[in-house]
A = this chain, B = another copy of it.
Amino acid sequence: MYPNMADSNRLPTEPYKGVRDFYPEDEAVQKYLFSTMRGVAERFGYVEYDASVLESAELYRAKGAENEEIANEQTYTFTDRGDREVTLRPEMTPTVARMVAAKRRELPFPLRWYSIPNVFRYERPQRGRLREHWQLNVDLFGSHSPAADAEVIMLAHALMREFGAQESDFQIRVSSRQFVQDIAKRHDLSPENHRAFRLLLDRHGKISKEEHEEELKKLGISPEEFAASNPPEDVAALLEPLRQANIGNVAFDPHIVRGFDYYTGMVFEVFDTHPENNRSLFGGGRYDNLLDMFGEHVPAVGFGMGDVTMRDFLAVREKLPTYASPVKVYLAVPSSALAPEAMKLAAELRRAGVNTAVDFGDKKLEDQIKAADKQRIPYLIVVGENELGSGEFKVRDLAAHSEKPMRRDDLSSFFLNL
Query: Interface residues, chain A, CB within 8 Å of chain B?
Result: 2, 4-5, 7, 9-17, 19-24, 27-28, 30-31, 42-45, 47-56, 58-59, 62, 76, 78, 80-82, 84, 86, 98-99, 101-103, 108-110, 112-113, 118, 120, 122, 131-132, 142-145, 147-148, 150-151, 154, 158, 241, 244-245, 293-296, 325-327, 330, 336, 339-340, 343-344, 347, 350, 353-360, 362-363, 370-372, 374-375, 377
Interfacial chain B residues near A294, Cβ < 8 Å: 10-13
Q: Are B340 and A241 in contact (CB under 8 A)?
A: yes
Given contacts A14-B102, A58-B11, A110-B360, contact A47 B24 (CB under 8 A): yes
Nearest CB in chain B to that of A55: its residue: B16
Q: Are B122 and A80 in contact (CB under 8 A)?
A: yes
Interfacial chain B residues near A358, Cβ < 8 Å: 45, 147, 151
Instruction: Give the residue among A11, A102, A244 with the most B Cβ atoms within 10 A.
Output: A11
Q: Are A11 and B62 in contact (CB under 8 A)?
A: yes
Interfacial chain B residues near A118, Cβ < 8 Å: 52-53
Interfacial chain B residues near A326, Cβ < 8 Å: 42, 47-48
- CB < 8 Å neighbour of A325 from B28, B47, B150, B374: B47
A112 to B357, CA, bound (A): 8
Nearest CB in chain B to that of A73: its residue: B81
Given contacts A7-B295, A10-B293, A109-B371, contact A327 B52 (CB under 8 A): no
Instruction: Give the residue among A7, A13, A330 with the most B Cβ atoms within 10 A.
Output: A13
Interfacial chain B residues near A347, Cβ < 8 Å: 154, 245
Q: Are B371 and A295 in contact (CB under 8 A)?
A: no
Q: Are A22 and B51 in contact (CB under 8 A)?
A: yes
* Further 13 A-B residue pairs, CB within 8 A, beyond A24-B48, A241-B340: A2-B295, A9-B293, A11-B293, A13-B101, A15-B52, A22-B50, A43-B350, A43-B355, A45-B377, A47-B375, A78-B78, A110-B371, A147-B340
A102 to B80, CA, bound (A): 32
Closest approach, in angstroms, between the C-beta of A125 and any C-beta of chain B? Answer: 11
Closest approach, in angstroms, between the C-beta of A144 and any C-beta of chain B? Answer: 7
Given contacts A13-B102, A371-B110, contact A54 B24 (CB under 8 A): no
Given contacts A52-B19, A101-B13, A102-B13, contact A145 B336 (CB under 8 A): yes
Interfacial chain B residues near A102, Cβ < 8 Å: 13-14, 21
A326 to B113, CA, bound (A): 12
